Structure 1
Amino acid sequence: MEWKEGKGSLRILRVGISNEGGFTLVELSVVILLLSFLLLLTLPRFSGLLGGQQLRSSANMLVGLARHLANRAAASRQTLFLHYNFKENTFWVTTYDQEGNQVEVHSSLGGKRQLPSGVVFADIVTPQFGKVSEGEVFTRFFPNGLVETSTIHLRNSAGKLYTVVIYPLAGRAKVYKGYVEHEER
């Protein structure tokens, strides 16, 4: 069925009979609605994976920093202190200058750093301080290559735990999944 007027022509087709490809607006809207609903259901699961990744990344960062500080202490023949602050969830490095004043060390790894959002220090165990879960504590890195043994427990907002153990020889450190007691090593 066609209608002709002048030069142009207008084709009129019966409903549902079309040989042109494509999707209708209703079909596209339904697909977008379904995809949005699936994304809404799976998004909380992905954020949980990201939180676990931040926890593991924080533990690995502390391992790398411990190795770096052990090498730097031996090379510079200075005692270095890796400080941990529970309230602010920060860590930084200090040493003593020639006048005996404690000064912050700015290394290639940066100055004062903060743990990622949602990751906190649960507690830290050192021979000098014992088990500490508030305030400030530090790990010492000596010029002879030895390091004060430290066990650092990190926790994320989901309650997942990782343990970083810094061993006394040359800043060797290892990450353990879960909460590992000081004596279990």
Structure 2
Amino acid sequence: MNRRGFTLIEVMIVLAILGAIVGLGAPRLFKKQNNIKSVARHFIVLSREIRNKARLSNSTYRLVIQMEPNNEKYWVERANGPLPIDVEAQEKEREEGKNKDKKEDAPPPLFQIDKSLTKKEQTLPDGLHFGQVETVNSKAPLSTGNAYIHFFPEGFVEASTIQITDGNKLTWTLVFNPLTGQADIIEKAQSLKDTQR
């Protein structure tokens, strides 16, 4: 009876092929993981800077998240002085933003882009996008149009969550604490209601 097993050379060849396959696929996975970490850290630092600016200038700021397919951006806007959230006006502004029709006789908007925090509109790295944004004042999570997270002169922040995703299995949630203004990272998709329990 002739029993034949694998030779050492055959085993080494198979291991080399497996190593090459893993070596080609792993950098892509780690790149997305590193990109999402980098974006999350950037938002944590940005939220801290917005909160400090709002307190120092006694103004209301807002972080604007634009969620349009292939055109997802974010930037910071400022209103002069303290300003309460007007949910109806915000909803109207979202609808006007969708229509893109600006009336010539319309009054100037209350919020203007603040270039001291974001020099221009920022974009997410390739392969990442905003899954949804949810605030305590929104009727439902937003996944299209513009979403706003407000920062107040008293140091408070509108309770909210931002989901950043690659569209597959990788989704992180940024949670904004209304009292401390601190943004925390949860390494999975979570709604605002889940984070407030």
Counterpart of 1:170 in structure 2 is 180
How is 1:1-185 mapped onto 2 (pairs within 5 angstroms)? 39=20, 42-87=23-68, 88-97=71-80, 101-129=110-138, 130-185=140-195
Q: Which runs of 4+ in 1 moved over 3 A?
A: 35-41, 97-101
Greater percentage in strand: 1
Deviation at 1:39, TM superposition (A): 4.8
Greater percentage in helix: 2
Superposed CA offset, 1:8-62 (max 9, x none): xxxxxxxxxxxxxxxxxxxxxxxxxxx9996565122211110111112111211
Query: How many residue pairs end up in the alignment?
Result: 151
Report % sequence identity.
23
TM-score of the aligned structures, taking structure 1 as reference length: 0.73
- Cα distance in 2 for partners of 1:126, 1:116 equals 24
- Structure 1 gaps of 5+ residues are 1-34
Deviation at 1:157, TM superposition (A): 4.4
Contact 1:97–1:103 under 8 Å retained in 2: no
- Cα distance in 1 for partners of 2:36, 2:167 equals 10
Q: Secondary structure, in 3 states, of the residue corresponding to 1:131?
A: coil
- Structure 2 gaps of 5+ residues are 1-15, 82-107
Moved more, 141-150 or 105-114: 105-114
- Cα distance in 2 for partners of 1:37, 1:168 equals 49
